[in-house]
A = this chain, B = another copy of it.
Amino acid sequence: MKKLINDAHVVVAESVEGFVQAHADLVKSSGNPEELFVSRAGGAVQGKVGLVSGGGSGHEPLHAGFVGKGMLDAAVPGPVFTSPTPDPILAATKAADGGAGVLHIVKNYTGDVLNFETAAELAEAEDILVKAIVVNDDVAVQDSLYTAGRRGVAGTVLVEKIAGAAAERGDDLDGVLAIATRVNDNVRSMGVALTACIVPHAGKPSFDLADDEIEIGIGIHGEPGRKRIKAVSADETTDLLLTPIVEDLGLSGGEKVVLFVNGMGGTPSSELYIVYRRARSQLEAKGVTVERSLVGNYITSLEMQGCSITLLRLDDELTELYDAPVDTPALRWGA
């Protein structure tokens, strides 16, 4: 294992320390290693619904890279690929509360769901109103290694962006939850891995993939997907991801979507655009309009090579919220 790290045990702590130093105008850290979270530099916005997300680290820029105006109020980075405990989630929830309640945005993994639930109960005992959206956009598998039901993957980025815009414009907690739910109901994803990644404290690849094999339907922690096949062309690979998404979403001609091609961390951006090109062409052939596009590393699996495709069915309001201004460490010049 070769990594630019000092010690597998302090990867998250040191990385978050560098991150908040580099973006001190936008974010700060709790500074407490037992209750580590990142929040907006200016603190909670009074009267605004607070948005808190979190989960295992290793998916950067998700979630801390999305803390800032128009998106999250706080993010809780757990150990690599491991859910944070309820304590830091509670601390982040309190820091994000501006008196209008807090929405938890949770990816559907058993550990995350349980720990966010516990934190929500503790917060409510302190008179903070908390609601939660559990994102489950991955069409690849019904249940998986760490999940009952579908996994939450790249759709989470769109939930955070669009719910963040709704909170910023002044929607109340029920309103922000309704928007987040609408995004989750209309977003689907599926991914492919060309290589595994190495979790620092494990020190070896999270799974084995032969030199000529790819894993279709991979999870963001390297969990098994639908099938392992011989590597095929980018266009064929794209079709294997796109078809189940389009079918599951029940997408038909005349509809409008966000086409989001996400890099898993180790994929050259040129390859992501080749996948984007094919997906767009296939969607257009069906009469679907690609209204907005997102291409890049937004939710990664350390240095894994591969990508995921996400489609979000748009309506006018979701489009407006998607377009609303955002200013976070990962989404500005100087990111």
Judged by a CB distance under 8 angstroms, whether A87 is at the interface is no
The residue that A21 contacts in the complex, of B22, B233, B269, B276, with Cβ under 8 A, is B276
Are A12 and B277 in contact, CB atoms less than 8 angstroms apart?
Answer: no
Mark contacts of A1-35 with chain B using CB atoms, 8 A cut-off: 1 yes-contact digit, 0 otherwise: 01111110001101111110111000000000000
Judged by a CB distance under 8 angstroms, whether A228 is at the interface is no
The docked-state distance in angstroms from the alpha carbon of A331 to that of B333 is: 5
Are B212 and A2 in contact, CB atoms less than 8 angstroms apart?
Answer: yes
Q: Which residues, 85 to 134 on A, are CB-close (under 8 Å) to B?
A: none
Judged by a CB distance under 8 angstroms, whether A58 is at the interface is yes
Are A4 and B294 in contact, CB atoms less than 8 angstroms apart?
Answer: no
Q: Across the interface, name the chain B residue whose C-beta is closest to A14.
A: B274
Q: Which residues, 243 to 302 on A, are CB-close (under 8 Å) to B?
A: 259, 265-277, 280, 290, 292-297, 300, 302
Judged by a CB distance under 8 angstroms, whether A60 is at the interface is yes
* Minimum C-beta distance from A23 to chain B (A): 7
Judged by a CB distance under 8 angstroms, whether A176 is at the interface is no
The residue that A334 contacts in the complex, of B6, B18, B292, with Cβ under 8 A, is B292
Are A295 and B335 in contact, CB atoms less than 8 angstroms apart?
Answer: yes
The docked-state distance in angstroms from the alpha carbon of A272 to that of B12 is: 12
Q: What is the copy number of this chain in the assembly?
A: 2
* Minimum C-beta distance from A319 to chain B (A): 12
Q: Across the interface, name the chain B residue whose C-beta is closest to A5.
A: B234
Q: Across the interface, name the chain B residue whose C-beta is closest to A24.
A: B293
On chain A, the number of residues with a Cβ less than 8 Å from chain B's Cβ atoms is 68
Are A268 and B211 in contact, CB atoms less than 8 angstroms apart?
Answer: no
The residue that A274 contacts in the complex, of B11, B195, B276, with Cβ under 8 A, is B11
Are A273 and B234 in contact, CB atoms less than 8 angstroms apart?
Answer: no
The residue that A214 contacts in the complex, of B2, B214, B303, with Cβ under 8 A, is B2
* Minimum C-beta distance from A267 to chain B (A): 7
The docked-state distance in angstroms from the alpha carbon of A23 to that of B267 is: 20
The docked-state distance in angstroms from the alpha carbon of A292 to that of B335 is: 11
Are A270 and B60 in contact, CB atoms less than 8 angstroms apart?
Answer: yes
Are B18 and A277 in contact, CB atoms less than 8 angstroms apart?
Answer: yes
Chain B residues in 8 Å Cβ range of A21: 276-277, 280, 290, 293
Q: Across the interface, name the chain B residue whose C-beta is closest to A324.
A: B333
Judged by a CB distance under 8 angstroms, whether A180 is at the interface is no
Taking A21-B290, A325-B333 as known contacts, 16 extra A-B pairs with beta carbons closer than 8 A to each other, sorted by chain A number, are A4-B194, A4-B275, A6-B233, A6-B235, A6-B274, A14-B274, A16-B273, A17-B273, A18-B273, A18-B275, A18-B295, A21-B280, A22-B293, A266-B305, A270-B302, A331-B333
> 6 closest A-B pairs (Cβ-Cβ)?
A18-B277, A18-B273, A4-B271, A22-B293, A15-B270, A266-B266
